[in-house]
A and B are shown apart, each in its own frame.
Chain A
Amino acid sequence: MKKYLGILARVLLLALTLTGCDRPASTASAPDPGPEAFSVTLTDDAGQTLTLEEVPERLLSLAPSNTEILFALGLGERVIGVTDFCDFPEEAQEKDKVGGFADPNIEKILSLEPDLIVAVSGLQDPVVERLRDEGFNVFVVNPTTVDELPGVIRRIGRAADVNDAADELVGGLEDRIAAVREKVAEATGAPSVFYEVYSEPLMTAGRTTLINDVISVAGGTSLGSELDEAYPQFSLETLIDQDPDVYFASTGSMSDPKDIAERDGWEALSVSGNDRIHVIDENIINRSGPRLIDALEQFAALIHPDLFE
């Protein structure tokens, strides 16, 4: 059992690219860089201070979400390595692979000689420590709410010396988040939402997860929002009893999400009769990259269809 639990934990993290670690306050404090002299000091989400005296040219991403951020910042050309799971944008797949998410190949990473490694916290902590010991510049990101995402992107942009691109990208994302908030504020209530992580056993996303925050910003109340565990098994009895207004499943949920309404037991849910079961692309909701805001907009429109017509 212990073995399975260990692997389960790894697998969860692998699949969801989310971590529930302590999140230190992140501050960016870059002195105004002159046109020639580049020097930036940043604090990452692991609480570590990173000082870069030269513009990092060779960038390595250790998570699909980070890869998406780097490419969205227009840094695709400078990315020299990604993980096996980095499949977006398509160009990312042509980069050198450093292995899996939980267990990237240290030798491969060394051979690529990256100037800056963008990692995530939690599962990758041991890898990060190892890479720091080797003297690499490692920047750890771990947004746990929608509102932390712009700050993360801005700091990555600052580290890579693409402040303008970061401002533009972040500005756009912030506007879209604000627009969702504004629309949702018109709603009279927060419909109850169930998010299915997995069906047998039935699992949902708990209070500490980014998914839970996305649902909340999108104007819904997740049934998982009262649970402390990140990905708890959820009682089907409670699901039927609470009868959520909207039901989400990701494409990664094991049983074919299109058949959810026809599952034994699920026919008692109101959502089974009124087309309010929705399947979300797991890669946009599980990755804390720019596309998370796509997920936010989709959630908001599906939770409050009347407001987003």
Chain B
Amino acid sequence: MSKSVFIPALGLALLGALVLAGAVGAVRVAPSEIISASTAWLFGAESLSASQFIWLKVRLPRIILSAIVGASLAISGTALQGLFRNPMAEPYIIGVSSGGALGATLVLMFGEGLMFLSLSLPVFAFLGALAATGLVYGLSRVDGRVSTTTLLLAGIAVSSFVSALISLLMALNGEDLYSVFFWLMGSFSARNWGHVQMILPFFVIGSATIFFYYRELNVMLLGDDKAAHLGVDLEKARPVLLGATALLAGAAVSVSGLIGFVGLIVPHIVRLIIGPDHKTLIPAAALGGALFMVVTDIIARTVLSPTEIPIGIVTALFGAPFFIYLLRTRRRTIG
């Protein structure tokens, strides 16, 4: 499919998913209520009815948040795959998300005295994700190249170590033990506009930075030698891109816990359809990530309603088989 058709088509599909997400939920909200709630929101409301409130203050922020998190994870995955020159790079698989979770866990456990919890949570998640990204990158890059084997091994090592640190923190803090585990499961349950505000600046800065470097990401696919011939200095671009991917992954973790595989599935499908040019790949992955997350969250919150399924389970149900499929079909090309 050509780029000029695919991206608008993705945009339309996302729009459709957003409308569907707004229409369905544990509680039925009539279309007229949605319209009146929206106008109330736009023009300043008197008092909202319960269903107007549910739609405006519970469902809508959750949908928006899931779209932003999906886009963040997909862009982060796209950039990581370019940086590592490896299709298996994904924030969750290589331990970047776990690093973010460690940072966030520290804040949740010891951050009660911190002044700006809403800011310190994503900031610490970012720092944790950054440390994990740098570590995996340093460990897996041999002679300027990252093989799938070293990447996955380094990712496993870092993510196991970080998970062990999180478990240790919890063992030492029995009181807060179970709260963090629930949070780590990944969920958009009971999220609100505050969470949207919390992630938005990180999302804008991170994704804009990565898009700004789309040429460097393209050149990286060719290797450092060719990049030098083209007059592109990759050594400057790499740390910026590593920082931006960590920013996106950390921000996503700080509002929704650990959600895996989005950054793997979405860039892959998009790349298969429109090719590897990051100029179109990045926006398409953003739209695709948002679409995937909005749809999986619809599944998570409606299938067993009023019980909700943790969304990390839904994405893993889709993602893990896809990951295995990739490993099998692409074995020859990614060694």
Contact = CB atoms under 8 A, between A and B. Distances in A.
Interface stretch (B143-151, B190-198, B216-224): B190-198
Nearest to B191: A200
Given A235-B306, A238-B26, A240-B53, A265 B313 contact: no
Interface string A1-41: 10111011001101100000000000000000000000000
B54 A14 contact: no
A5 B258 CA distance: 13
B177 to A, nearest CB: 6
B298 interface: no
Contact of B58 (A227, A232, A234, A265): A265
Contacts of B310: 201, 233
Contacts of B54: 237, 240-241, 268
A1 B316 contact: yes
Contacts of A241: 26-27, 50-51, 54
A235 B184 contact: no
Q: Pick the most buried of B58, B174, B310: most chain A CB atoms within 10 A of its CB.
A: B58
A254 interface: yes
Interface string B284-313: 000000000000000001001111111011
A187 B74 CA distance: 55
Interface residues of A, number: 37
**Interface size for chain B: under 10, 10 to 19, 20 to 34, or 35 or more residues?**
35 or more
Contacts of B194: 264
A8 B191 CA distance: 21
A243 interface: yes
Contact of B182 (A200, A227, A235): A200
B52 to A, nearest CB: 10
Contact of B192 (A229, A232, A265): A265
B50 A243 contact: yes
Nearest to B53: A268
A235 B25 CA distance: 9
A185 interface: no
A268 B182 contact: no
Interface string A249-272: 000111000000001110010000
B33 to A, nearest CB: 12
Nearest to A7: B181
Contact of B308 (A201, A240, A268): A201
Contacts of A277: none
B59 to A, nearest CB: 6
Interface in A214-243: 227, 229, 232-238, 240-241, 243
Interface in B153-180: 163, 167, 174, 176-179
Interface of B: 25-27, 48, 50-51, 53-54, 57-59, 163, 167, 174, 176-179, 181-185, 187, 189-194, 258, 260, 301, 304-310, 312-313, 316
Counting from the closest, the 6 A-B pairs by CB-CB distance are A201-B189, A254-B179, A264-B192, A235-B26, A238-B306, A233-B308
18 contacts: A4-B185, A4-B258, A11-B178, A12-B178, A14-B178, A15-B178, A201-B185, A202-B190, A227-B306, A232-B304, A233-B187, A233-B310, A234-B308, A235-B189, A237-B25, A241-B27, A254-B182, A265-B192
